[in-house]
Each structure stands twice: as C-alpha cells, then as structure tokens.
Amino acid sequence: MENFLEQIAELLEVDVVNEADELKSFEAWDSLTILSIIAMANENYGVVLNAAEINGANTIAGLWSLIESKKA
C-alpha cells in the first residue's frame, strides 16, 4: 500500500496522499490523470481498470480496494 500511495501522490502532483482523500478533491484530477491511473494499475498490478470504475472509487482507499479486487 505504501508504494501505491507514493505512485498516486506522484500522479496527483502532490507530496503526500492519505487513504481517506477524495480523488476529485485534487487540483490535478482530470481525464489525463485517470488515464495515468489506468496505465499504472495495468503496468504495476496487472489489472485493467476503466474510467467509470475509477470515478466510482471516490477515495484513495477505494481505488486501492478496486485494484486489489481485480488482481487475479
């Protein structure tokens, strides 16, 4: 999870993120960030996500749970 938090912080262009942070609350939250999350999840965790699933996750912890649930 620690590595995931660092990756998400980098994508969201902030120093630190917390599990409870809402994804849409970040200034860098846009369609390009969503595409970057899709690529990161595929490359680092071997899961395929779509934009609707990511938007439905709402929080950093929700996004992590989504990725965990899709691991084979």
| Per-residue pLDDT at 30 | 97
pLDDT along the chain (72 residues), means of 10: 96 97 97 98 98 97 97 80
| Per-residue pLDDT at 28 | 97
From residue 43, alpha-carbon distances to 13, 15, 20, 26, 27 in Å are 19, 22, 24, 23, 24
> Counting Cβ atoms within 10 Å, is residue 27 exposed (0-12), middle (13-18) or buried (19+)?
exposed
Domain boundaries of the chain, sorted by first residue = 2-14+21-70
**Rounded to whole angstroms, how far apart are CA atoms 2 and 6?**
6
**Rounded to whole angstroms, how far apart are CA atoms 54 and 15?**
21
Instruction: Return the SS3 of 49.
Output: coil
Q: Which CATH architecture has domain 2-14+21-70?
A: Orthogonal Bundle (1.10)
